[in-house]
Amino acid sequence: MKFKRIFGLVMDSVGTGAAPDSIKYGDEGADTIGHVGEHFAGKLALPNLAKMGISNLRDTPIEGVPVADDPHAYYGKMQEISAGKDSMDGHWEMMGLPVRKALSTFPNGFPADIIDKLEKFSGRKVIGNRPESGTKIIAELGEQQMKTGDLIVYTSGDSVLQIAAHEEVIPLDELYKICEYARSLVNGPEYLVGRIIARPYVGPDAQHFTRTANRRDFTLEPTDKTDMDRLQAAGVHVVGVGKINDIFSGHGIDEGYHNESNMDGMDHVDHVMQEDFTGFCFINLVDFDAMYGHRRNPEGFGNALMDFDKRLGTVMANMHDDDLLMITADHGNDPTYRGTDHTREFVPLVVYSPGFKQGGSLGIRSPFSDFGATVLDNFGVKGNNEGHSFLADLK
């Protein structure tokens, strides 16, 4: 064992340039962090990520984020092989389980048999039923939903079924039960959907509706063992922070924390760092994606990156020489791009330990499973046949 604790931190949706297969997804030219840098016109301040080499891993530096002459970390990019570009695909692939078969998507809304069953089970009418931005469809139909108690059902370009409801009209427990039932309808073979998402919101009217942190993801059960299962079976302690527990349906996790926000998530990271354990902490920070990427808000996205970078300084200061921090993303979500969906991109890979004698390039890693293979390699656990460990490259 080289490192006692490994912290794997996913900046949800922070892509770093269109992947080679982006044209297949209609995402050519997407570049989440690059275009955010352009939006800030040289004022995107990410000093900690810069020192680690976040601009070094790119063909062109992020505007305002200098290339590091003497990077404090190892840096590179990861390229996805999974059939989709959703959070589930990205995280599963990181943990040695690429999604090779495309999941069901619904560009024309959900078929009548699914909607009929949802209405019969819930005793409520379904409205919406189309691909749409969550904030837009809630603003459009939220007041009607408050009056009638209907369910706002919608999707996106990803394999998701989302159900929105006002928290004062449909209690959270009821919304979650409806989502659990919806999950049971799309586990195959006819329809195979990656995630059912409960999207509760509050507010008095369309001008003041806001989605709450009580969102829950009901994800397809992992179709095979993941690297977290392998770690857990080997007696290695596994911690999940943020929506990790939802993405893996609780599998392979010993200790879990739900995030209210990115900053709440970083509070959880600080807490876990004070614990004395040997193992892996897998973290997802979703605000980049949910609050700013899908809403096509580059200003908010950049501010969230700068807030994260400040908190990253605290994490680095609290790390021990035998700690390892691996920062990456699960997909892109370019806030300057057309539409409101995820974008197929390379994701950054930044790997840091205060015990490093040097930094350097890790090149382009594919599949994402190299990430999990490195964690397993560190703890002497076998079983990830998808990825290739880069542990030996860290000096």
Kindly report the three-state secondary structure assignment for every residue of 23-81. Answer: HHHCCCCCCHHHHHHHHCCCCCCCHHHHHHCCCCCCCCCCCCCCCCCCCCCEEEEECCC
Check whether 342 is labelled as a binding-site residue: yes
Check whether 388 is labelled as a binding-site residue: no
CB half-sphere exposure, 159, CA atoms < 13 A:
26
CA dihedral 381, 383, 385, 388 (to 10 degrees): -10
Q: Calculate the alpha carbon distances from 293 to 43, 118, 245, 317 in Å.
A: 19, 29, 22, 29
d(CA 334, CA 13): 8
Check whether 331 is labelled as a binding-site residue: yes
Check whether 12 is labelled as a binding-site residue: yes
Helical H runs in the chain? 32-39, 47-52, 87-94, 112-122, 134-148, 172-185, 227-233, 244-247, 262-273, 287, 298-318, 370-378
Check whether 330 is labelled as a binding-site residue: yes
Show binding-site residues: 12, 289, 294, 330-331, 342
Q: Which residues are annotated as a binding site for Mn(2+)?
A: 12, 289, 294, 330-331, 342
